[in-house]
Amino acid sequence: MESAEIARRYLRYFEQNGHTVVPSASLIAEDPTLLLVPAGMVPFKPYFLAQRTPPAKRMTSCQKCVRTPDIEEVGKTTRHATFFQMLGNFSIGDYFKEQAIPFAWELLTRSQSDGGFGFPEEKLWVTVLHDDDESAEIWHKDVGVPMDRIQRRGLADNFWHMGVPGPGGPCSEIYYDRGPEHGREGGPEADEDRYLEVWNLVFMQYQLGKVRSKVDFDIAGDLPAKNIDTGMGLERMAILLQGVDNIYEVDTMWKVLDRAAQLTDSRYGANENDDVSLRVVADHVRAGMMLVADGIIPSNEGRGYVLRRILRRAVRKLRLLGGQERGMMHELTATAIAAMGDQYPELVRTAANIHTVIDAEEESFARTLRTGESIFDVAVQESKGSGREVVGGADAFKLHDTYGFPIELTLEMAAEQGLTVDEEGFRRLMKEQRERAKRDAREKKTGNADVSVLGDLLERAGGTIDFLGYRDFTAEARVLGILVNGANVTEAAQGAEVEVVLDRTPFYAEGGGQLADHGVIRFMGGAEVEVTDVQSPMTGLIVHRGRVRSGLARSGDTVLAEIDVSRRKAISRSHTATHMVHKGFRAALGESAAQAGSENSPGRFRFDFTASGAVPPSVLRDVEAEVNEVLIDDLEVRAFTTSQTEAVAMGAMALFGEKYGDEVRVVEVGDYSRELCGGTHVGTSGQLGLIKLLGESSIGAGVRRIEALVGMDAFRFLARESVLVAQLSDQVKARREELPERVAGLVTRLREAEKDLERLRAEQVLAASAGLAEGARDVNGIAFVGHRAPDGTGADDLRRLAVDVRSRLQGRPSVVMVAGVPKDRPVVVIAVDERARELGRKAGKLVSLAARTLGGGGGGKDDLAQGGGSDAGKIAEALNVVEHAVGAE
């Protein structure tokens, strides 16, 4: 039974039993405490906590999940994987144990011809929490499981929580006996390789406070209702229903693994090292594909770092397998898309975008891998040469910071050489950089507030704040809460930095690329809060950040919320312009040019999109002309809400990786552009006035950025450009249309003149060679020349002079030192001939002495070395130091 069919049967069974089928949420977690969704229940957490109203009391889903804490174990065992799928059925205050347990048993044991999975009853074992008599009784009396196949276990095995404060509860697990060939008898307690867990029924009934470990936590109280959260690993089920031994042999994983073996001329099962590499490639290609499909772009922070680490680890494993050809990731990604496209049609729709991102990351890493490996090899040789078995933290940091090597990859490479890495040193070097980035991101999103405090405010709002900003610029509202330094307070005085939560608001919270509104909240008691940022740290919650500029702001007061209208209108022009530019580039470059990010600010916007290379200037000109023609047509900009299915059928563009609910908002610019969007926009395209594309650049592997101006900012830019062109035209005495040719001619003549000047200067410098050679002093049997060149002599000329003088001193050992000040800092060059080197005079050592005297450093080869410093007044002293060293050795 294929994986897609397993998922279909599961969802169909629960749909027939009154459950609403909910599509998988994005891998990008809404919960600000999580980077990625690690479990099937995570999207349902707000319902368990009664923070949001569920779409139905009974739901079922097949949720995409990614876990990376054990990534180093992936491939080494056949149990670990980064990406997996969790089938689940959920009850929000509806049924509990008495129905959840029979549901699971019926689906597992019902015949395959009747829509079930067809497991023999005698092959199934169950476990319950040690004191959960109620569950044990249901299993035995209601379902009929013999008592000797019901095992009681402790908190480590039969209590579920997320590892952080939140919902949790006891659980009951179902195991399948794979037979004596897989291990010893005795049930799950005896051997979990033989008895494979297939389903976990969690009886979600407690609110956990502090969570210190799997078995050490505080129960803060009961949840608002008793809930059911079950999880069935799709890959685990596929092992049993496809008759294979482990997750790497199920259909969706094996197809990728087998193709990787073909591409690298390797064979799975031939040797353990290759098997590990093939398993890593299969898992990471599948995981990387799913992450990219949800809009994550490789980077050095957060989710992007997780993706980069996964993709680069896969690329390196392909190289270890002998796969040197670039483009293998493209082939393997295509295989993964084909393997999972039946279950996730969006993979097929966005295949071009997925390929663009992964191909670019492979290409980027391939360019740096050889250099990075060389740096690593040098570090290994130095470590082994000095008798150490540790690669330095500074080397690991350089590999990460300069060459994009994830530290985990360095650790893995070191282990292959029998070495460890000074992780403490690496972490110390990374700490400030990482913590600053995390702190900035966290404070931008949630401020200083504890997530539970925000959850309480959201619950007080009834699960969502009413956003009025599509139609209103001002609104009367009630203050639900005021936060100062993350704590909920009753009042805040003048000058306090505050976060204000209202029950309704016209303020737009930053999101979808659109910057937040600014404005003021006027309290009826006379206080005023100046709003400078608005965020949505939780779905449905809107937090206004600012400063109390007068009076005493009190929680519970009635207020008048007013946005800065001119700023909002300017941002709305930028947002509408972004939609139009997106459509223009899609039309010009094809479907692979999918939006990968944007920022809509007053008068200016930037638009990021996936692309395999630079955009030709002609395309930029054509897109700019096209969108400005649309402005002239003054098309109506219309927004409406419809179902996601209907919106897609209408041709509305869904942003690559963006999350949408069943009901979506569609923004149309006439018949030109149609896109899913929650932002604010102008009324007609003509209100934009003018769009000016400033240019494009690369911001990462496979991602390009367009920067542009709109409205008066675009007009003012063109006005300034016109003045500059007029001034330039007057200076060179040419008409505007002649400027490119005239300027090109001037530049060519200038370059030729610079070359002539450089040649003359070099001749002038070298003209002194003969005289310097004749004036060489004998220093302990070595001909020594020490010379200070005229200020302004370039470093290249200093090197040429030193080498030329050395060549004129043939026949006797010689050391030549030439110093000068090319710009504002001294430079010294030392050239040593072969006979002097045989006597122990080394250019690198001598130049270090000179550079230290000048307050700097330097080095080089034994025959020629260069250094510099900061104190030009000590050049004479440096010449003396080197002369003394030449004579002393």
Binding-site positions for Zn(2+) read 575, 579, 677, 681
Rounded CA-CA distance 833/803 in Å is 9
**Cα→Cα distances 91→8, 27, 73, 206, Å:** 20, 22, 34, 15
The bridge status of strand 519-523 relative to strand 553-554 is unpaired
Rounded CA-CA distance 879/860 in Å is 18
Least Cα distance to 150 among 204, 119, 187 occurs for: 187
Long-range (24+ apart) CB contacts under 8 A made by 41-44 are: 41/88, 41/90, 41/202, 41/204, 41/229, 41/231, 42/162, 44/90, 44/92, 44/229
**Cα→Cα distances 112→10, 18, 109, 458, Å:** 12, 21, 9, 45
**Cα→Cα distances 218→39, 49, 211, 563, Å:** 21, 16, 6, 43
Least Cα distance to 817 among 739, 756, 880 occurs for: 880
Name residue 459's beta-bridge partners: none
Q: Is 755 left (phi over 0), alpha (psi -120 to 50) or beta?
A: alpha
The residue type of 88 is G
Name residue 161's beta-bridge partners: 168
The residue type of 317 is K
The bridge status of strand 782-788 relative to strand 814-820 is parallel
For residue 525, the SS3 value is coil
Calculate ∠ Cα 65-66-69, nearest 5°.
140
H or E element in which residue 229 lies = strand 217-233
Residues 357 and 21 sit within 8 Å (Cβ to Cβ): no
Residues 194 and 154 sit within 8 Å (Cβ to Cβ): no
| CB crowding 715-730: b at 16 or more within 10 Å, else e | eebeeeeeeeeeeebe
Rounded CA-CA distance 623/578 in Å is 12
H or E element in which residue 211 lies = strand 195-211
Q: Which residues are annotated as a binding site?
A: 575, 579, 677, 681
Please give the structure tokens belonging to residue 430.
């990374």
Burial class (CB in 10 A: 0-12, 13-18, 19+), 480: buried
Burial class (CB in 10 A: 0-12, 13-18, 19+), 98: exposed
